[in-house]
Structure 1
C-alpha cells in the first residue's frame, strides 16, 4: 500500500472508531426515523429488500465490488431510503431498519473491496446507526467485525483488536457459528499485534464453536470451515509459521465453495506469495496460474493489489520459464 494513503486512512479509521460507543449508549441516544404519512410499507417490502441484498451479495462474490457496488448504492438510494421514510407498524419499521443495516454493511464491504476505504467507513457507521435503531445486535456486531477486518487489512492492529473485541461484547449470546465468526477475527487481530497467547486462545475457541455449528448458513456474511481455515492460516502467518499458514490456506481453498471467485483470487495469490517465500517457486507458479484464470472475471481493488504484488515478487525470477510466462500474462491483464 502507498504509505501516504495509509497515513490518511489511519486518521479516518481512528476518527471512525472514536465515535463508536457501546451498544446500549448508541441505541439509547438515537432518534426514531420520521415516518412519511403519504407512503406505507409492510413485510412484503422488507422481504424484497432482504432478497435483493442477498442477490447483490452473490454477485459481489462472483464479480467483485467494483462491478456490484453501483447497483447496491442505487438500490439503497432509490428503494431503501423511501421505505425508511414510509409509514409502517413498529415490527415492520424495525425489520426494514435491520434490512437496511444489512444492505449498508454489504455496500461498505464492497467499497472496501474497491479500496475506497473512507467510503466504506461511512457505510459501516450508517449500518451501526440503523442496526441500533432496529435493536439488531447481530448486524451491529457483524459491522464492528467488518471494521476490524478493514483495520487488520490496513495494518492498524490495535484498532482492529479493539473493534473485534467490541463486536464480541455486542453479541454476548451468539450461537456457535456466530461465535466462531467473531472469535476468528479476534484471533487474527491479536496475532497481528504479536499477542500470541490471546491469538491461540481465540482460534481454539473458534475451532470449538465451529465444531458445534449445525449447518452452513446461506446468507451473506456466513462463516464456514473454509473461513475458519483462512483465519487459522492468518494467525499462523502473523506468528511466524509461514509453512503452517500455507497448509491452512490450502485447506481453506479445498473447503471453499466455487462461487466465491473473488476470494479464490485473493487467497490463491496469498498462498502463492507465501510458497515463494518458502522457496517453492514451481508450486507458487501453479497457484498464480489459477489466479490468472479467475482474475479477468473479477473487478476488485484487493485483487488488483494481489496481481501487482505478484508482478513485484516475480521480477527476480523472470528468467525461469514458468515464472516468466505468469509474469507476462499478469502484466497484460493488469493493463487491460
Structure 2
C-alpha cells in the first residue's frame, strides 16, 4: 500500500508501516540490519548514523523518504531498485516539488521538510552526515569537529536538536503548541535518538547542559496534554526515555546527583503510565549509577527490580544486560559467588540471541559490551588477569561506530594491565585512549586514565611508560567533573 502525503491538516494521522523495507530485513534483528547498513555505507565512502532505532522508524513509516546519504546507501545495498521499490514515497510527492537526483544531494544546507510537512515526512538532512561524507568539505568538517570537542559541543548539539521542533531554551518553551500531536511526539523521539548517537561518538561532557532544554520542553508538552491518548502515551514514553538519556549524560560526566534525579523522574513517568519497558530501563540505569556512586547494595536491588519489570517483555538480551547490572552490584559487595552466578546467567541469556522484543535503546549491547561489563566486575573483585582479558576482548569487538565505548574499554584495559603488573602494555593502551580524546569527551574515561597514570608513576623506566605519562600530563582537555571512578 502506498503512503499518501501527511499534511498539516491531518496532524494525528498515524504513519503507515513500510512493509517492503521490513521484508528486506528478513530474519535479521533491527540492530543486525543497521550494522549491514553501516557496512554498506563504508563500502561507498559514506558514514551514516544508522542503528536499530533508525530501522524501527523506517519500518514504522515515520521516515517516508530518507535523506540523500541514506538513499545512496540503500540503493547500493539493493541494486536495480528504486526508493519506491524499497517502500518509500518518491521525493517529489513528499516534498511537493521536483525530485533531484541523488548526485545533487544538498551540500552546506539542511534539506528539511517542505512547506506544511510535519517532521519525519522527509528525513531531515543530518549535519553529522554532511561533515563526515562531503569529500569537498574536509576543512569545514575538521573545523566543526574541533568546535564540538573544544567546548563548542553546546553549539553543535543545538544545531542538531533545534530542527526537531522542541524548545531550545526555557524561554522558548512558552511557544510550544497548546496541545501536542504526532509531529511533537516524533520530534521528541528523534531528540532521544540524536542525543544517543552524539553520545556514542563524543561522550557526555559537551552534551549534558544543552540536552536538558529539550527535556524541559518534553515535560511542558506533557503538561499541555495531547490530542489523542495514543499520542499522550508516545509523549510519556518519549519524555521518560529522554529523561534517562539526559540522566546518562549527567552520570557519564560525573554529575551523580543530577543523574539520580533524572532517573527518578523517568521511573515516576513509567509508574504513572504502566510502561514496563520504561520502568526496566530506568531501574537498569539506576543500578549502574548506584554501583558507580559506591552504593552496591542499592545496585543489586535496582537491577533485581529491573528484571522483575522486564520479564514479561520477552527480551532475553534485556534480561542479560540486567543480570550484568546485578553482577556489578555483587562485585561491589565483594560477593564473588553472587557475581559469578549473575555473570553465568547473563551469558546464557545473551546466547539466546536477539529478538524483535529487544528495546531500541539496547542497540549498543553486543559482544563488546558483554565483555566490557564482565571486565568491570573482575576489576572490582581485584582479579586483574581476568579483567584485562575481557577488556581487551571488548575493545577489539566494538563496532567502530561507538567511538566512546572503544575509548572506555581501552581505558579499562590500560588500568587493568597496570594493576596486573604489565606497565609497558598498560602504557601502550593508555596512548591509544589519549589518541581518541580529540573525539570523545567523557569525565569517566579521563578519571580512569588519571588513575592509570598514578599506578604507572613508579614504572617510568618501563617501555612506553614515560611517553604515556608525559602525554597524559600535557593533555589539555576538560578536567573530570565529580567522582567518575573505574566503571
TM bracket (short chain): 0.7 to 0.9
SS at match of 1:299: coil
Which of residues 294, 300, 304 in structure 1 aligns to 2:436?
294
Q: Is the 8 A contact 2:218 2:235 kept in 1?
A: no
TM-score by length of 2: 0.58
Matching residue of 1:116: 255
Which one scores higher on RCO, CA 8 angstroms, separation ≥ 6?
1
Q: Is the 8 A contact 1:105 1:127 kept in 2?
A: yes
CA distance in structure 1 between the partners assigned to 2:215 and 2:294 by the alignment: 30
The yes-or-no answer on 1:181 pairing with 2:331 is: no
Q: Please give the per-residue CA displacement for 1:82-120, whole angstroms capped at 9, x wherever unaligned.
A: 354233211211111011000000100100111111111
CA distance in structure 1 between the partners assigned to 2:346 and 2:472 by the alignment: 36
The yes-or-no answer on 1:68 pairing with 2:207 is: yes
CA distance in structure 1 between the partners assigned to 2:272 and 2:224 by the alignment: 14
The yes-or-no answer on 1:212 pairing with 2:352 is: yes
How many residue pairs match? The answer is: 300
The yes-or-no answer on 1:253 pairing with 2:395 is: yes
Matching residue of 1:23: none
Deviation at 1:289, TM superposition (A): 1.1
Q: CA RMSD in A?
A: 2.2
SS at match of 1:172: helix
SS at match of 1:212: coil
SS at match of 1:220: helix
Unaligned runs of 5+ in 2: 1-176, 479-487
Matching residue of 1:165: 304
Deviation at 1:280, TM superposition (A): 1.4
SS at match of 1:65: coil
Which structure has the larger Rg over C-alpha atoms? 2
Q: Is the 8 A contact 2:331 2:381 kept in 1?
A: yes
- Greater share of residues in helix: 1
The yes-or-no answer on 1:329 pairing with 2:471 is: yes
Which of residues 326, 340, 346 in structure 2 aligns to 1:200?
340
The yes-or-no answer on 1:228 pairing with 2:370 is: yes
Matching residue of 1:262: 404
1:136-151 equivalences in 2 (<5 Å): 136-151=275-290
Q: Is the 8 A contact 1:97 1:133 kept in 2?
A: no
1:65-104 equivalences in 2 (<5 Å): 65-79=204-218, 81-104=220-243
Q: Please give the per-residue CA displacement for 1:162-214, whole angstroms capped at 9, x wherever unaligned.
A: 11111112222241111111111112211221222322222111111111122
Matching residue of 2:75: none
CA distance in structure 2 between the partners assigned to 1:97 and 1:141 by the alignment: 15
Deviation at 1:327, TM superposition (A): 0.8
Unaligned runs of 5+ in 1: 1-37
CA distance in structure 2 between the partners assigned to 1:134 and 1:57 by the alignment: 24
Q: Is the 8 A contact 1:307 1:334 kept in 2?
A: no
Q: Residues 289 and 331 (structure 1 numbering): CA distance in 2 closer, same or farther, change over 3 Å? A: same
CA distance in structure 2 between the partners assigned to 1:76 and 1:272 by the alignment: 36
CA distance in structure 2 between the partners assigned to 1:304 and 1:196 by the alignment: 28
Runs of 4+ residues deviating >4 angstroms: 215-218
